[in-house]
Amino acid sequence: MDYTSLARRFTSRFPLLSYLGTQINFWIISNIFLGSILHLQALSLEETSHIKTLVSYGQIARVAIMLGFLYGIALGLTDWYLDKRRFYKRLSMGKIILFKTVVSVSLIFLILILIRGAFWRLSMSHKAWSYLFYIMLLYYLAMTMVINFINQVNKKYGPGVLVPLLLGKYRNPREEERIFMFMDLQSSTAIAEQLGHLKYSAFIRDSFMDINQVLLPFNADVYQYVGDEIVVTWRIDEGLKDLSCVRFFFGCEYRFFERMDYYLSNYGVQPRFKAALHMGKVMAVEIGEVKRDIAYHGDTLNTASRIQSVCNDYNKLLLISTYMLEAMGEQRALLRTTPLGMIRLKGKAAEVGIASIEGLDNQTSPV
């Protein structure tokens, strides 16, 4: 299992610990770095003015760790709480950054007051303390922007992807085996005409937000949003394990069912998606200069998209290629399926076998 898989699995199982761990580790490292700079500066002044420093590096390191731990816990809990609130997700990026900056500055004031109390024996002058406070204030604001950037990258690409990107994993095309699910809103044209453009866009936004809530428990990643369609992907081992790729679809259905009252009261209609699953080899590569992204190329995506396009022809919500169904092995017994035979998909020379998935075995929970 690679780093990305481990990071994603840990995040899905222990979301709170993931928030806390990210913030605590980052701020401990940042504070030790700042403490090292201040200590080296103090040593330089000591050599120049022959005034011995009053604080050892060991004391600085202990304070740095304590401060990083407290600050990391405070920000980690704040991020975790806010990310679970729907109103927060609807704020603009600017308002989110402004809000987090206000929270960070408030926490800095509180924690630095506690730290000053710990140094009362040093009899630090008011002016000296002011200089130290401004140094730490500016440093913490800069580091807060860095950690916010890291969090935004993690939200864009998913947990555990930033490190491979920094190491250039996808700079050159590399072959991977992946599962893809194309999900398209059912009766989208009729819903758009009923709601109008503005309300329809809000409807799509809320639908995708609910789908995003189901991603991590099933180790899924969003590859693309295209209009009212969302493309989700898995590594082969993660998608087939415990039928995560299939359970994800029914997990989305269950999520929409739970929020039925919200959709009916605000839009008068409940979202339902038609979807298709297929697996195979693709080429993964980092593309773009102005806007960078990871792109997947290959016949696997085209086939999955074409299978999804015939859902209406068979009046089915979830179709799967027989190739992928066979790859599930004995786990197929947990699925209620209906074979649909070999069909010729648009733009494909060879026929492709497909089947519909009607549901999960009664003993298999979708969530």
Residue 165 maps to a domain: no
Shared-domain flag, residues 8 and 143: yes
pLDDT in tens, 334-350: 999 999 999 888 877 78
Distance between CA 42 and CA 46 in Å, rounded?
A: 6
CA-CA distances (angstroms) from residue 72 to 2, 99, 134? Answer: 27, 17, 20
CATH number at residue 196: 3.30.70.1230
Shared-domain flag, residues 154 and 174: no
Residue 183 maps to a domain: yes
Mean pLDDT of 44-66: 78
Read off the tokens for 147: 């950690």
Q: Which residue has the higher pLDDT, 227 or 2?
A: 227
> What pLDDT score does 364 carry?
47
Shared-domain flag, residues 94 and 200: no
> What pLDDT score does 350 carry?
84
pTM for the model stands at 0.73
Do residues 256 and 272 lie in contact, with contact meaning Cβ atoms separated by under 8 Å? Answer: yes
Residue 231 pairs with which residues in a beta bridge? 182, 224
**Residue finishing a domain among 160, 178, 213:** 160
Q: Find the range with the poorest average confidence among 121-130, 189-198, 215-224.
A: 121-130
Range from 122-136, 215-229, 247-261, 335-349 that averages highest in pLDDT = 247-261
Shared-domain flag, residues 199 and 240: yes
Residue 7 maps to a domain: yes
Residue 219 maps to a domain: yes
**Residue finishing a domain among 160, 195, 216:** 160
Residue among 223, 244, 136, 228 nearest 180 (CA):
223
Range from 61-75, 127-141, 163-177, 283-297 that averages highest in pLDDT = 61-75
Is residue 9 pLDDT above 70, yes or no? no
Do residues 202 and 227 lie in contact, with contact meaning Cβ atoms separated by under 8 Å? Answer: no
Cβ contacts of 70 within 8 Å, gap of 6 or more:
111, 114
Shared-domain flag, residues 29 and 176: no
CA-CA distances (angstroms) from residue 115 to 4, 41, 109, 252? Answer: 37, 20, 10, 47
Range from 14-28, 91-105, 145-159, 335-349 that averages highest in pLDDT = 335-349
| Number of independent structural domains in the chain | 2
> What pLDDT score does 86 carry?
64
Quote the mean pLDDT of the chain: 83
Residue 367 maps to a domain: no
Shared-domain flag, residues 199 and 147: no
pLDDT band at 79 (very low <50, low <70, confident <90, very high): confident
CA-CA distances (angstroms) from residue 66 to 150, 205, 353? Answer: 23, 41, 60
Domain with 252 in it: 170-360
CA-CA distances (angstroms) from residue 242 to 23, 144, 317, 335, 364? Answer: 32, 39, 21, 11, 9
> What pLDDT score does 38 carry?
82
Range from 119-133, 138-152, 268-282 that averages highest in pLDDT = 268-282
Shared-domain flag, residues 182 and 331: yes
Shared-domain flag, residues 19 and 79: yes
Residue 325 maps to a domain: yes
Read off the tokens for 248: 């994800």
Q: Which residue has the higher pLDDT, 287 or 230?
A: 230
Is residue 171 pLDDT above 80, yes or no? no
Strands (E), the chain: 174-185, 221-226, 229-235, 273-287, 293-297, 318-321, 335-343, 352-360
Do residues 12 and 217 lie in contact, with contact meaning Cβ atoms separated by under 8 Å? Answer: yes
pLDDT band at 146 (very low <50, low <70, confident <90, very high): confident
Distance between CA 33 and CA 195 in Å, rounded?
A: 54
Residue 366 maps to a domain: no
Shared-domain flag, residues 181 and 296: yes
Residue 365 maps to a domain: no
Give the whole-number percent of the chain exceeding pLDDT 70: 80
Shared-domain flag, residues 145 and 201: no
> What pLDDT score does 276 carry?
96
Distance between CA 171 and CA 279 in Å, rounded?
A: 23
Shared-domain flag, residues 287 and 355: yes
**Residue finishing a domain among 160, 182, 216:** 160
Shared-domain flag, residues 277 and 178: yes
